[in-house]
Amino acid sequence: MIDWERILSHDGPAVWRTAWRVLGNRADADEVFQETFVAAVEYSRTHTVIHWRALLQRLATARAIDRLRQRVRRRNREMPLPEDHPETSFPLPLQAAENAELSATLRLAMAEIPSRQAEVFCLFHLDGWSYPEIAEHLAISTDVVGVWLHRARGRLRELLAEMNEVSS
């Protein structure tokens, strides 16, 4: 019998942080958190799980990237507010604004790269996993992890440069 209460209390915070780091939105992170545990329950019905945290973070990363892509597609279909729309929030300090803009730009760019590359990028840079840990849990070699991470970084650099040119 799986002790879900222990798993939730022990690994739940790391799962939520994973979703939050990718999405930067509390409501989306909450939904991804729930979807992750539903997927883990379904997975555990047919597979034996040795490393719960690894499985949960991997599921959370994949679902967060999917949600990020949905958000980008939805944003592309929505109309921006008119220029004369009243401001409803207080301005943030300069550094916080720059960080938020950079995070948003990175999220947009991550939605454009292949999902496996985005997953490896998130696991390595956001969750601090090592190459061997990523390789083991994605069932790939450490060399493939390195290649995908290299490609993700290169493509993200290109996309961020393009986005920077457009906004300038």
Q: Map out the domains of the chain as residue ranges.
A: 4-78+99-167
Amino acid letter for position 120: V
What pLDDT does 91 receive?
47
Alpha helices for the chain (secondary structure H):
4-23, 26-46, 52-77, 94-110, 115-121, 131-138, 142-167
Q: Which residue type occupies 146? A: G
pLDDT of residue 82: 54
DSSP 149: H
* Residue 110 confidence (pLDDT): 86
Cα separation, 62 vs 72, in Å, equals 16
Mean pLDDT in runs of 10 for the chain (168 residues)? Answer: 89 91 89 93 91 90 88 67 51 66 82 89 87 90 94 92 78
How far is residue 95's CA from residue 150's CA, in Å, rounded to a whole number? 29
d(CA 36, CA 42): 10
**pLDDT at site 155:** 93
Q: What is the pTM of this model?
A: 0.57
Which tokens hold the place of 153?
A: 């970084």
As its CATH architecture, domain 4-78+99-167 has Up-down Bundle (1.20)
Count of beta carbons in the 10 Å neighbourhood of residue 21 = 17
